[in-house]
Amino acid sequence: MALSVQNLSSGYGRLQVLFGISLEVPDKSVISLLGPNGAGKSTTLWTVMGVVRPWEGMVLLGGTDVTKVPPHKKVELGLALVPEGRRLFPEMTVEENLLMGAFTKRARDKMQDTLEFVYALFPRLKERRRQKAGTMSGGEQQMLAIARALMSRPRVLLVDEPSAGLAPKVVSDLFQTVKRLKEEMSVLLVEQNVAAALEISDYAYVIENGRIILQGKPEELAANEHVKKAYLGV
Amino acid sequence: MEVIPYFLSGLIIGSVYGLITLGLSLIFGVLRVANVAHGSFVMIGAYVAFFGFTLWGAPPPAAGIGALALGAGLGALVYYVVVKPLMKAGELNILVALFALGLLIAEAARMAWGPDFRGYTWSIGSVSLGGLVLELSKALGALTALATAVGLEVFLRRTYFGRAVRAVVQDPVGAQVVGIDVERVFLLSTAMGVGITTMGGVMLTLFIPVGINPYMGGIYTLISFVIAVMGGLGSIMGAYMAGLLFGVFQSVGYYVFSLMGFAQPFEMALFLAFVLLLLILLFKPTGLFRL
Ligand SMILES: Nc1ncnc2c1ncn2[C@@H]1O[C@H](COP(=O)(O)OP(=O)(O)O)[C@@H](O)[C@H]1O
Ligand SMILES: [Mg+2]
């Protein structure tokens, strides 16, 4: 298992947000975590990454317990996060952002190769490589956020709502790209856009109020009454 | 053009004002912490210069290197003892603790070295420049300041660690997720910032022949804050340029106010510099320069 989250709980201050989340991300797969606004999707990714401290439970990366490992060391171990809000370096150029993505020792050595790989994946970024990140459109910034995470050569990529604020056409292109990443790594995709996410997923979890309430193959979830009513609008 | 010498001497002292502000701006940019104990480290640097010179005959450039190392050590200590433990408790707690630390350092200095004003003279000659008799010691202080500012800027742009610092300034969470050890950046930035400030204190003594005193820090905390805000908090070259501007403003202001027959031209010039700050903030709230 590339990533295994077991019974994870966490929150902010005294406020508990996650109540025993468990999910599995097998090698070379796209797994999505779906749910409404405020359900705890981002908190799950922050906690897996270690930016938010876990209260209980375990995070295993390739079978190794990394629950208490700080975020920068997790990146070295092969976990990467495309965070909510993108968190780019706005005053740096596109290429500088990408080079920052290869900050860890392991990634630094392969930097040139990885750079070519992400430019091939997002030719748009190559065209814009001297532009400041803060001045790009939302879609371009989202590409850059994903590309920057790829620069660290992850085994498991966590992506938080890449579709947020993007036009439908841009979203479908971006999702096709995410799907292609499966050849190289595993992806845990957080989304509110359930229909689009199910299309590219191998398996999906539904989170509400900090708990996993449903899970299954995309076609099973798409047929589920609750999912249909609450998320697919049918 | 009698004003030219004042303009030039403003640039020279302004360069050192810039140097004194670099550390404050760096620490603010990286940790979002306003180091209100700032002036105390300027004061420590001034005493390093004084004792270095009078006890060991060490010239100020040597004292500067010693102060850089001493200040870096003190900065690391401040990070571990004050800043890091209070990071979770919030900015206001850190501010109050640093304020207390500043007072504590000044009182400790008074107990150790007494309340008297001290000074020394290091003469290495002078040149005449545009009507100004420029002491070479001051020119050296100004050049050291320039070299430090440029060196720091190059360091921040060219080295891996420097880029990590800039990343933390621009987005600390983004920095964390690309694999930067943000705490380490905090520690080293505080050490570097305080080290440079303490070295700035050494260079400052070249301009204040009898002004070394345990309580001298307060005014430099104030001046550095004004300059840092003018330059855009967190911007290194911005802080340096704003230091030059402040020095020129103060020096030329002094000239103008003494022509006009003011009894306290120096205080008036300082007052005017604060007016300048208000104007800048009014029209350009992010400061004159950006990172
Ligand atoms: N930094 C924070 N401090 C306090 N509460 C937070 C913070 N971030 C999120 N929350 C709360 O945690 C809950 C889950 O938020 P989040 O994980 O962002 O949900 P989602 O990503 O599914 O929209 C919400 O109730 C939100 O208000
Ligand atoms: Mg979210």
Beta carbon of A38 within 6 Å of any ligand 1 atom: yes
CATH of domain B4-283: 1.10.3470
My answer on whether A25 and A96 are in the same domain is no
pLDDT in tens, A174-204: 899 999 999 999 999 999 999 999 999 999 9
Nearest to A205 by CA among A71, A60, A39: A39
Residue A13 vs residues A7, A52, A69, B33, B89: alpha-carbon distances, Å:
19, 10, 20, 22, 12
My answer on whether A68 and A30 are in the same domain is yes
Q: How far is B170 from chain A (nearest CA, A)?
A: 5
How much is the pLDDT for B291? Answer: 47
Residue B63 vs residues A161, B47, B50, B69: alpha-carbon distances, Å:
55, 10, 9, 10
How much is the pLDDT for B131? Answer: 80
Separation between Cα atoms, residue B179 and residue B182, nearest integer Å: 9
Give how many domains chain A has, as a whole number: 2
Q: ipTM of this complex > 0.85?
A: yes
Q: What is the pTM of this model?
A: 0.92
My answer on whether A145 and A212 are in the same domain is no
My answer on whether A70 and A163 are in the same domain is yes
Q: Find, in chain B, the residue whose alpha carbon is nearest to that of A70.
A: B181
Does a structural domain hold residue A178? Answer: no
Mean pLDDT of chain A: 95
Q: What average pLDDT does the segment A40-66 reach?
A: 97
My answer on whether A67 and A92 are in the same domain is no
My answer on whether A4 and A47 are in the same domain is yes
Sheet order of strands, A156-160 included = A79-82, A156-160, A186-191, A30-34, A203-208, A211-216
**Domain span at residue A142?**
87-153
pLDDT tier for residue A36 given thresholds of 50, 70 and 90: very high
For residue B40, what are its two tokens?
A: 């105390």
Q: What is the largest CA-CA distance in chain B?
A: 60
Domain segments of chain B: what residues? 4-283
Amino acid, res. A196: A
CATH of the domain at A190: 3.40.50.300
Chunked mean pLDDT (size 10), chain B, 291 residues: 88 97 96 95 98 96 97 98 92 94 97 95 90 91 97 95 95 96 97 98 95 94 91 89 92 86 78 80 74 47
Query: Vertex B99, ends B94 and B102: CA angle to 5°?
Result: 125
- In terms of C-beta density within 10 A (0-12 exposed, 13-18 middle, 19 or more buried), how is residue B92 classed? exposed
How much is the pLDDT for B7? Answer: 93
pLDDT tier for residue A169 given thresholds of 50, 70 and 90: confident
Residue A21 has pLDDT above 50, yes or no: yes
Does a structural domain hold residue A32? Answer: yes
Q: What average pLDDT does the segment A44-64 reach?
A: 97
Nearest to B244 by CA among B1, B9, B73, B75: B9
pLDDT in tens, A203-227: 999 999 999 999 999 999 999 999 9
Nearest to A27 by CA among A216, A191, A184: A184
Residue ranges of alpha helices (H) inside chain B are: 3-31, 38-56, 60-78, 84-86, 91-113, 136-158, 160-170, 172-177, 182-204, 217-231, 236-259, 265-283
Q: How far is B73 from chain A (nearest CA, A)?
A: 25
Residue of B153, B178, B184 to mutate for A, most A C-beta atoms under 10 A = B178
Is B9 within 8 Å of B141 (Cβ atoms)? no
- In terms of C-beta density within 10 A (0-12 exposed, 13-18 middle, 19 or more buried), how is residue A163 classed? buried
My answer on whether A108 and A70 are in the same domain is no
β-bridge partners, A24: A4
Pocket test for ligand 1, best of A16, A42, A209 (most atoms within 8 A of CB): A42
How much is the pLDDT for B113? Answer: 96
Residue A98, SS3? helix
